[in-house]
Amino acid sequence: MELDAALLSRLQFAFTVSFHILFPSVTIGLATFIAVWEGLWLKTRNPVYLQLAKFWIKPFAITFGMGVVSGIVLSYEFGTNFSEFSRITGAVLGPLMAYEVLTAFFLEAGFLGVMLFGWQRVSERMHFFSTCVVALGTWISAFWIIVANSWMQTPAGYEIVDGVFQVASWPEVIFNPSMPYRLAHMLLAALITGTFVVAGVCAYYLLRRKYQPMARKGFSMALWFALVLTPLQAFVGDLHGLNVKEHQPIKLAAMEGIWPETETGAPLLLFALPSKEDETNHFEIAIPHLASLILTHELEGELQGLKSVPPEDRPPVAVVFFSFRIMVGLGVLMIAVALYGLWLRRGGRLYSSPLLLRVCTLLTPAGVVATVAGWYVVEVGRQPWLVNGLVRTMDVVSPLPAERVLFSLTMFVITYSLLLAVYLYFMRKLIRKGPPDFASLPEQLIGTHAPGYALAWVKQLDAHEKVH
Amino acid sequence: MELGFFYFLLLGFAILMYVVLDGFDLGLGILYPWFDDESQRDHMMRSISHVWDGNETWLVFGGVVLFAAFPVAYGAILSTLYVPIMIMLIALIFRGVAFEYRFKSHRSKPWWDKAFAIGSSVAAFCQGLMLGSLVQGVDADAIDGSSLNWLSPFSVLTAFSVMAGYALLASCYLAMKSRGEIRDRAARLGRRLVVAVMIAMALVSLWTLIEAPEIRARWFDGYHLLLLSPLPLLSLGAGWLLFKDLGGKQHEQRPFFLAVALFVLGFAGLVVGLFPYLVPRQLTFMQALAPASSLEFLLPGVLIFVPLICAYTLWGYRIFSGKVEDFEEGY
């Protein structure tokens, strides 16, 4: 079989970007949680909050590290594998990415050192400030990358001169039609992801009756967060869907599995096997009229279908269709868990219901999976376009020999598989080890006047004198 | 034109910052084999675990400045240097995660030591290969399966030179951040590395002067040599002073800054030879320049945030200034 360099480049980008998104989707939420806990500790002096912050900072740190190293790859892959794309869209996307580095990456990196290693090298307030800045940095970073991505989904504010994109209006580029919806959807997704990671680990401790005060506090907070965030996410997701219908109707057709040129009173498909060859679905399980009702607010509303465009302009339907169902399915499950938690609270059974605790433990990665599935809907659903309706992905790949791309793809697959295994191993190790106990609290305190630092100094001096 | 030149300078600044900052922490990986005791290695890792991430951000910044201001060059250079870039990225991954996992591991610690040492060395080597290929001028049109345009005797020489330079920065950094045996060993290694780096700089300079007539012309036409002579003379002076400093103990920080000065001078020499090309003889920075609307949009961001970044980066270094204390466990 002849190797196709373009296909390999696309595979490699899909693989490396999928791997990368796992980590930021966790760290955005976790950073925010840690900042909240540290703030609550400073305000209330309840040691449980310090314990939460100190415990979660470790999983946060390794997750952040994984995000950094896998992110650097992406910033170079545009050039290495999509040189033609960089040439024609560099004037639009380059400055957006440059702003991301200037306003977010440096900020995160600059204050992360203090956040992780400066507990007793700066004052309490300064440390809290650093934690907040790191959390803020993750949000800013998400903002810019969503702007760049949304522009590729719903390009605006550009003009094409000699086949190269130039910017006519930066406000239009930044506030392109899908950006606000995608940004809200992604930030909520990241917060929910963090929420369920925290809830899952705390539920695991509660089931094993370990670290009770911390696990209770963490679990309760996480479920309150979930109660607010998950229904809000459903609402924002619906708005986002309407935006897709307006600007990317073919993507929406793939999400809903609608084949005819137009369909009135389209059903909501709970399950189906979309067939590219037959241009129809098999084994449909559907709720009549519901898709039309949700998307047009009318029972007989009309939706555009896949056959309204030639086959070469359609995305890979099955991937989009199933990813969308995985995302929505998990979303519904998460809402149900949040509501069930509220129900259990009334009888004071929140911490003792084995069902809820087990489900929450199982749902630890639910947010991550839903987020990745959502991104598959977004990105695969945009195909065959790289810049929607304007630039085809296949046309802008670097003219590289296939062997080279195969070589790098193989290296990435090996490296990333290894890293994922290592990451999960160390996460498990950290979770099993649990938080620092209350007895060591004096050494855990924050600030230059914390006794921990001084204690360590004295110990070191003693050891030093014994040697000499 | 002015804006183009500004971004050319910004790109140079980003690369220089990267080379100096990540230089010393990659260099520690190169020096790793000379420190075989576990506590010494703990100490080395601890001296940079709070800054490596920020240092590597300059690499991303250099990349996006190239992408934003010179999109044509970004695509052309990166796809031409595909293999060394990919190997560098993978190497950076291994040495980067070593920071996170090494301190949390027991049995697997030797593996993370290897990941850090080999990853850092390979990344530095690849950066040297890229430098050499760029200086020689890669042929962007000759992309085919067999072409190894990034591998030549010259690029191998620059690769080892870059490794030696990073190791020199690292030995000066380590001497500044440690006491006792580690300091002494770092200083001893540093003295040898000064000699190696001076020889490497001389070889690379002579090679380019002999091979590239236009660079020769730039140095020797008219009064050029007179104007440019401070570069080699200052390099010699800095090298000599550095060699002397590392022999004694009266200067804590000066060796590190002298090593940085050597890098700045070497980099200036490179720019003198290359200007105004991004790809020698093929692509000037003006030819690769992005449209004005993009350059103007990014300008306020650069003017506001780059000074701010420098300020808080410096603040971060000051918080952790002085010797590394072995009891500091971090988070």
Residue A419 has a pLDDT of 93
Q: What is the 3-state secondary structure (H, E, C) of A99-149?
A: HHHHHHHHHHHHHHHHHHHCCCCCCHHHHHHHHHHHHHHHHHHHHHHHHHH
Q: Name the token pair of A153.
A: 């989904």
DSSP track, A172-185? HHHT-TTHHHHHHH
Which CA distances in Å does A280 have to A283, A305, A314, B109, B257? 10, 11, 13, 55, 69
Position A468 pLDDT exceeds 50? no
**pLDDT tier, A450 (very low <50, low <70, confident <90, very high otherwise):** low
**AA letter at A468:** H
Q: Concatenate the DSSP letters of all residues of B187-204 into one string.
A: HHHHHHHHHHHHHHHHHH
The alpha carbon of residue B79 is apart from the nearest alpha carbon of chain A, in Å, by: 4
pLDDT in tens, A5-56: 889 999 999 999 999 999 999 999 999 999 999 999 999 988 889 889 989 9
Which of A163-177, A388-402, B223-237 is modeled with the greatest confidence? A163-177
Nearest alpha-carbon partner for B102 in B80, B120, B77, B84: B120
Compute the Cα dihedral for A43, A44, A47, A51 and give only its sign: negative
Q: What percent of chain A shows pLDDT beyond 70?
A: 94
**This prediction's pTM:** 0.91
B71 contacts A72? CB cut-off 8 A: no
- Residue B306: list chain A partners with CB under 8 A: 102
Q: Is A118 on the interface with B (CB under 8 A)?
A: yes
Best to test chain B binding among A60, A68, A96 (most B CBs inside 10 Å): A68
Q: Is residue A288 pLDDT above 50, yes or no? A: yes
Torsion sign (Cα): B124, B125, B127, B128: positive
Any idea where the domains of chain A sit in the sequence? 437-468
CB contact under 8 A, B51 and A460: no
Quote the pLDDT of residue B214: 83
Considering only alpha carbons, which residue of chain A is nearest residue B313? A110
**What residues of A are in contact with residue B49 (Cβ under 8 Å)?**
117
A418 touches chain B (CB under 8 A): no
- CATH 1.20.1630.10 describes domain B2-173+181-319: yes
What is the token pair recorded at A300? 């007989």
Q: Is the pLDDT of residue A457 over 70?
A: no
Please check whether residue A7 touches B, CB under 8 A. Answer: no
Question: A455 to chain B: nearest residue by CA?
Answer: B327
**Segment B72-93, tens digit of pLDDT:** 888 888 888 889 999 999 999 9
B262: distance to nearest CA of chain A, Å?
26
A425 touches chain B (CB under 8 A): no
CB atoms within 10 A of CB A466: 7
Q: Which residues of B touch A398 (CB under 8 A)?
A: 75, 79, 82
Give strand pairing partners of A391: A387
Instruction: Report yes or no: A86 at the B interface, CB cutoff 8 Å.
Output: yes
DSSP track, A229-269: HHHHHHHHHHHHHHHHHHH-HHHHHHHHT--SSEEESPPEE
Return d(Cα B312, Cα B320) in angstroms, integer: 13
Question: Which two three-digit tokens encode residue A250?
Answer: 């073919």
- The answer to whether the beta carbons of residues B165 and B200 sit under 8 Å apart is yes
Mutate to test the interface with A, among B10, B45, B108, B327 (most CBs of A within 10 A): B327
To probe the interface with A, which of B13, B21, B53, B317 has the most A CB atoms within 10 Å?
A: B53
Between CA B216 and CA B210 the distance in angstroms is 7
User: If you write DSSP's letter for every residue of B234-289 in order, what string do you get?
Assistant: HHHHHHHHHHHHHHSSS-SSHHHHHHHHHHHHHHHHHHHHHTTEEETTTEETTTTP
Number of CB atoms found within 10 A of residue B12's CB: 18
* pLDDT score of B146: 46
CB proximity A102 to B under 8 Å: yes
Which of A142, A154, A133, A149 is closest to A184 using CA atoms?
A142
Report pLDDT digits (tens) over A79-123: 899 988 999 999 999 999 999 999 999 999 999 989 988 887 888
**H/E segment holding residue B177:** helix B153-177
Indicate the DSSP class of residue A165: E
**Residue bearing the bigger pLDDT, A467 or B102:** B102
Spatial contact of B189 and B171, defined as CB atoms under 8 Å apart: yes
Contact at CB, B99 and A57, closer than 8 angstroms: no
- What residue segments make up the domains of chain B, in order of their start? 2-173+181-319
pLDDT value at residue A279: 84
The pLDDT, as a whole number, for residue B60 is 93
pLDDT of residue A117: 86
Q: How many CB atoms are located within 10 Å of the residue A463 CB?
A: 11
pLDDT at residue B139, rounded to an integer: 62
**Residues in A 149-188 with any Cβ partner in B closer than 8 A:** 161, 164, 166-168, 170
Residue A160: beta bridge partners?
A165
Higher pLDDT, A442 or A91: A91
| Tens-place pLDDT, residues A396-428 | 988 888 888 999 999 999 999 999 999 999 999
CB contact at 8 A, A35 and A131: yes
- Phi-psi sector, A283: left (phi>0), alpha (psi -120 to 50), beta: left
Residue A343 predicted with pLDDT over 70: yes
DSSP per-residue string spanning B134-148: HHH---TT---TT--
CA dist A189 and B185 (Å) reads 51
Query: What pLDDT, on a 0 to 100 scale, did the predictor assign at position A463?
Result: 52
Of the candidates B65, B93, B327, which has its C-beta nearest A456's C-beta? B327
- How far is the C-alpha of B215 from the C-alpha of A11, rounded, in Å? 42
Q: Which residues in A lie closer than 8 A to residue B285 (C-beta atoms)? A: none
Q: What ipTM was reported for this prediction?
A: 0.91
Contact B82 A408 (CB under 8 A): yes
How many Å apart are CA B78 and CA B71, to the nearest integer? 11
Low-confidence ranges of chain B (pLDDT < 50): 144-146
The A residues from 343 to 372 touching B (CB cutoff 8 Å) are: none
More reliable by pLDDT, A299 or A440: A299
Query: How close, in Å, is residue B260 to chain A by CA atoms?
Result: 21
Q: Is residue A146 scored above 60 in pLDDT?
A: yes
Q: Does A271 touch chain B (CB under 8 A)?
A: no
Q: A315-329 pLDDT, tens per residue?
A: 999 999 999 999 999
What average pLDDT is seen over chain A?
89
Lookup: tokens for B195: 């000699």
How far does B65 lie from chain A, in Å, by closest CA?
Answer: 6
The SS3 assignment for A314 reads coil
